[in-house]
Amino acid sequence: MPWQTLIVDTDAAHAEALSEALLQLGALSVDLLDADAGTPDEQAIFGEPNEPPPGVWLHNQLSALFNEDQDVPGILAVAASNLQLAQLPPYTIEILPDNDWVRLTQSQFDPIQISPRLWIVPTWHSACDPTAINITLDPGLAFGTGSHPTTRLCLRWLDSNLKGGETVLDYGCGSGILAIAAHKLGAARAVGIDVDSQAIIASRDNAAANLTHQVDFYLPEAAPPATYAVVVANILTNPLRMLAPLLANATHKGGQIVLSGILETQATEVMEVYNQWFDLNQPIFEEGWSCLSGRKR
Q: Is the pLDDT of residue 282 over 50?
A: yes
- pLDDT band at residue 34 under the 50/70/90 scheme: confident
Closest CA to 20 of 58, 56, 51, 71: 56
Tell me the per-residue pLDDT of 193-207, one tens digit each, with 9 for 90 and over.
999 999 999 999 999
- The yes-or-no verdict on residue 93 having pLDDT over 70 is yes
pLDDT at residue 179 greater than cutoff 90: yes
Contact 153, 284 (CB under 8 A): yes
Distance CA 77, CA 115 (A): 52
> In CATH, what number does 3-98 get?
3.30.70.120
The answer on pLDDT for 188 being more than 70 is: yes
Query: pLDDT for 268-277, tens place per residue?
Result: 999 999 999 9
Comparing 96-100, 169-173, 288-292, the range with the smallest average pLDDT is: 96-100
pLDDT beyond 80 at 136: yes
User: What is the reported pLDDT for 104?
Assistant: 47
Q: Mean pLDDT throughout 124-140?
A: 83
Mean pLDDT over the full length of the chain:
88
Q: Give residue limits of the domains in the chain.
A: 3-98, 109-296
pLDDT (average), residues 285-291: 95
CA end-to-end span of the chain, whole Å? 61
* Main-chain phi, psi angles of 198, to 5 degrees: -65, -35
CATH number attached to the domain at 109-296: 3.40.50.150
For 213-231, the pLDDT digits (tens) are: 889 999 999 999 999 999 9
Q: How far apart are CA 150 and CA 42, in angstroms?
A: 15
Where helices occur in 140-292 by DSSP H, the ranges are 149-161, 177-184, 197-209, 237-242, 244-249, 267-274
Cα separation values, 135 from 66, 165, 288, Å: 37, 19, 26
